């Protein structure tokens, strides 16, 4: 990876009048994206599969007194009714200016060598991390505004080995391929499609669990960058492959795909 550095540290993205759906908004990274989009004045729809987690997120955002408006919705990427659920969101909020896919599913098998996974564990990991993303892209792209952007947040296991977590890692590699293929198929017509590969993130949940490192990227720094992608003010607004793996360097374009 190498390329153009972005001015993410100083840009105040303006999202007033725009709507952003954060799929997985109740998750660690998703919360940072929700917070930044609200800070930039957006109407935000944060989704998750658990009512209590969404309610807790809504309470934290209300306590923060941010200018945007937050809505929460239950949404499961694997439900047969996904397409209709997404169309219903579009009827309620209009064409979407930003769709951020921030889903992860670690399964309950724990860390295991790749070939120790049984068939069911393998299938669950692929369903949760690959098929879920495919289904979300297929449902959301038709309701994303032509000038809007669909961003998939991904991890570095898209590019490097991740011993003990093969199902997550190969899904990361596959969803990176899927996102870039989609961007190429669209060829600049219709919404922009962006793959954003992240380094380790400082999330609220991790900090609460006492797992923290000041060198990690804050979830809200990722959110600020994503807000710039939605607003179109980011230098990387039209770059399909991006990395944000180094806090000091900020977001950069992936090699050969600027």
Ligand X SMILES: NC(=O)c1ccc[n+]([C@@H]2O[C@H](COP(=O)([O-])OP(=O)(O)OC[C@H]3O[C@@H](n4cnc5c(N)ncnc54)[C@H](OP(=O)(O)O)[C@@H]3O)[C@@H](O)[C@H]2O)c1
Applying CB under 6 A, which residues contact ligand X?
23-24, 26-30, 48-50, 53, 75-78, 102-105, 128, 132, 153-155, 198, 200-201, 203
The candidate with the shortest Cα–Cα distance to 179, out of 154, 145, 155, is 154
Residue 26 CB, shortest distance to ligand X, in Å, is 4
- C-alpha 86/C-alpha 104 separation (Å) is 19
Residue 124 CB, shortest distance to ligand X, in Å, is 11
Name the maximum alpha-carbon separation found in the chain: 50
> In which element (H, E) is residue 229 found?
helix 219-231
Residue 17 CB, shortest distance to ligand X, in Å, is 26
- Kindly give, in sequence order, each residue whose CB lies less than 8 Å from that of residue 54, ignoring residues fewer than 6 positions away: 25, 26, 46, 47, 48, 72, 73, 74
Decide whether 14 or 134 has the Cβ nearer to ligand X. 134
The candidate with the shortest Cα–Cα distance to 137, out of 231, 23, 242, is 23
Decide whether 80 or 187 has the Cβ nearer to ligand X. 80
Decide whether 48 or 167 has the Cβ nearer to ligand X. 48
Residue 180 CB, shortest distance to ligand X, in Å, is 15
Decide whether 18 or 135 has the Cβ nearer to ligand X. 135
Beta strand segments in 141-240, E = 144-155, 192-198, 201-202, 217-218
Name the region of 109 (left: φ>0; alpha: ψ -120 to 50; beta: rest): alpha
Residue 29 CB, shortest distance to ligand X, in Å, is 4
> In which element (H, E) is residue 205 found?
helix 204-208
Nearest residue (beta carbon) to ligand X: 27
- Name the β-bridge partners of 115: none
Decide whether 1 or 200 has the Cβ nearer to ligand X. 200
Residue 177 CB, shortest distance to ligand X, in Å, is 15
Write out the two tokens for 53. Answer: 């987690």
Decide whether 14 or 76 has the Cβ nearer to ligand X. 76
Decide whether 11 or 49 has the Cβ nearer to ligand X. 49
- C-alpha 194/C-alpha 124 separation (Å) is 26
Write out the two tokens for 213. Answer: 């490192």
Residue 228 CB, shortest distance to ligand X, in Å, is 18
């Amino acid at each position: 990876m190498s390329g153009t550095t972005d001015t993410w540290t100083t840009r105040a993205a303006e999202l007033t009048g725009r709507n952003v759906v954060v799929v997985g908004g109740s998750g660690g990274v998703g919360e940072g994206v929700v917070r930044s989009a609200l800070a930039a004045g957006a109407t935000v729809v944060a989704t998750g599969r658990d009512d209590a987690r969404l309610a807790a997120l809504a309470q934290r955002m209300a306590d923060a007194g941010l200018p945007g408006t937050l809505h929460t919705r239950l949404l499961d990427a694997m439900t047969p009714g996904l397409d209709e659920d997404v169309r219903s969101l579009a009827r309620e909020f209009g064409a979407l200016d930003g769709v951020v896919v921030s889903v992860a599913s670690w399964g309950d098998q724990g860390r295991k060598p790749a070939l120790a996974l049984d068939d069911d564990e393998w299938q669950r990991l692929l369903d949760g991390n690959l098929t879920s993303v495919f289904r979300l892209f297929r449902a959301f792209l038709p309701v994303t505004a032509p000038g809007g952007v669909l961003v998939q947040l991904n991890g570095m296991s898209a590019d490097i080995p991740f011993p003990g977590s093969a199902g997550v890692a190969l899904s990361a590699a596959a969803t990176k391929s899927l996102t870039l293929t989609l961007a190429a198929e669209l060829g600049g017509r219709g919404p922009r499609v962006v793959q954003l590969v992240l380094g380790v993130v400082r999330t609220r949940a991790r900090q609460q669990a006492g797992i923290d490192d000041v060198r990690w990227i804050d979830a809200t720094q990722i959110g600020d960058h994503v807000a710039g992608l939605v607003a179109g003010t980011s230098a990387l607004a039209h770059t399909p492959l991006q990395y944000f793996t180094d806090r000091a360097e900020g977001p950069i374009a992936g090699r050969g795909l600027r």
